[in-house]
């Protein structure tokens, strides 16, 4: 939620003090769907202006449910909209989010351009890699006025997916961050329902450790989606409307445990998030240093990075079929490499392959 409680006076000046707000709202709503049979979690973002029916309150933006009835009404609203059972909730405010990131020692993030949003307190002077502390991370995931964003809330969702993937890439690669003591410290910054205990969240952390031992990239264990939707204006009010039948198809597939395909991976007029793009680094020679450099850059940029491999292909960024937009996102981080269409068989499970030139590295 967007509560300012716990922020310093300087942070309240940046984000707005509690007395400046008309009421607490949900800053972000995410549904985490865990399928034990598939050993996978699907993370579904809900646009804050999504037009839904709020039980007992008629039609409104989903963002209003928390203000009208707290987390309980948010759960009822999400259950009604998705048709899925919702068993637990985890709630974090702005200060708690910052503390969770700081507990992890910050998150190393790579961005492809300068990013400024005065209202969110975001100031990244140039493209490159930075260690985001809690305050910078909060500004990054909340920014809605970054130059180049055509639909600000949609771009914000892609940045949230990117940051969450980069954070998970760090957590899964640094096993000490999954130690119970670290998880317990992070758990102290969140609020949950009465039935979900800190021990349950520590158990979830242990499960992530098990999954990462099977899948070091985290590609199969964490899948980001968003409610298929498009902006619209109704009676002078700006909403986001769910697209049908895509939305029903997404939640029916989740409920039935069926493959999701590409539904809910991209948003209108918005480039896909690095958090949903599967990239594999290929090299024509055995040069562990060059491969590791490219691999680290892509992980810190929040991509799904598959295990590297060797190839006889010339350097470039390779894609197949309709994945050019995903290749363009990768290219924004590796602008020296030329985009080139390739046969699907060459890409395997990846959306995009990066063939590096060992003499130049990443």
- Verify cis geometry, omega within 30 degrees of 0, for the bond prior to 245: yes
Query: Mind listing the pLDDT tens digit for each residue in 23-32?
Result: 577 889 999 9
**134 vs 98: CA distance, rounded Å:** 4
What are the tokens at 75? 């759960």
User: What number is the average pLDDT over the span 305-312?
Assistant: 88
- pLDDT over 80 (residue 176): no
User: Among 155, 265, 275, 287, which residue's Cα sits nearest to residue 222?
Assistant: 275
Q: Is the pLDDT of residue 15 over 80?
A: no
Higher confidence at residue 225 or residue 311?
225
Burial of 45 (0-12, 13-18, 19+ CB in 10 A): buried
Q: What pLDDT score was predicted for residue 312?
A: 86
Pairing type for strands 122-124 and 90-91 reads unpaired
pLDDT, the chain, mean: 86
Confidence bin at 19 (pLDDT 50/70/90)? very low
């Amino acid at each position: 939620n967007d509560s300012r409680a716990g922020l310093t006076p300087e942070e309240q000046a940046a984000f707005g003090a509690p007395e400046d707000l008309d009421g607490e709202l949900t800053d972000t709503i995410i549904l985490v769907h865990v399928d034990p049979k598939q050993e996978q979690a699907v993370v579904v973002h809900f646009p804050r202006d999504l037009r839904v029916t709020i039980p007992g309150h008629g039609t409104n933006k989903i963002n209003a449910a928390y203000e009208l009835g707290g987390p309980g009404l948010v759960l009822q609203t999400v259950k009604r909209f998705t048709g899925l059972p919702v068993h637990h909730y985890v709630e974090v405010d702005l200060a708690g989010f910052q503390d969770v990131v700081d507990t992890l020692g910050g998150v190393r993030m790579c961005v492809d351009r300068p990013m400024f949003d005065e209202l969110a307190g975001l100031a990244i002077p140039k493209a490159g890699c930075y260690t985001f502390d809690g305050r910078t991370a909060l500004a990054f995931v909340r920014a809605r006025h970054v130059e180049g964003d055509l639909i600000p809330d949609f771009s914000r969702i892609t940045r949230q997916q990117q940051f969450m993937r980069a954070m998970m890439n760090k957590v899964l690669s640094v096993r000490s961050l999954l130690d119970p003591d670290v998880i317990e410290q992070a758990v102290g910054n969140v609020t949950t329902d009465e039935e979900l205990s800190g021990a349950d969240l520590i158990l979830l952390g242990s499960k992530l450790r098990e999954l990462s031992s099977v899948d070091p990239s985290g590609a199969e264990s964490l899948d980001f989606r968003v409610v298929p939707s498009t902006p619209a204006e109704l009676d002078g009010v700006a909403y986001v409307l769910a697209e049908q039948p895509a939305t029903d198809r997404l939640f029916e597939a989740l409920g039935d445990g069926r493959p999701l395909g590409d539904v809910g991976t991209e948003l209108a007029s918005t480039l896909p998030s690095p958090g949903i793009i599967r990239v594999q680094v290929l090299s024509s020679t055995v040069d562990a240093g060059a491969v590791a450099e490219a691999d680290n850059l892509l992980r810190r940029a929040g991509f799904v990075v598959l295990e590297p491999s060797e190839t006889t292909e010339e350097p470039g960024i390779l894609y197949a079929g309709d994945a050019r937009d995903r290749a363009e996102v990768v290219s924004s981080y590796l602008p020296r490499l030329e985009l080139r269409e390739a046969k699907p068989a060459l890409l395997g499970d990846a959306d995009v392959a990066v063939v590096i030139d060992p003499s130049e590295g990443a």
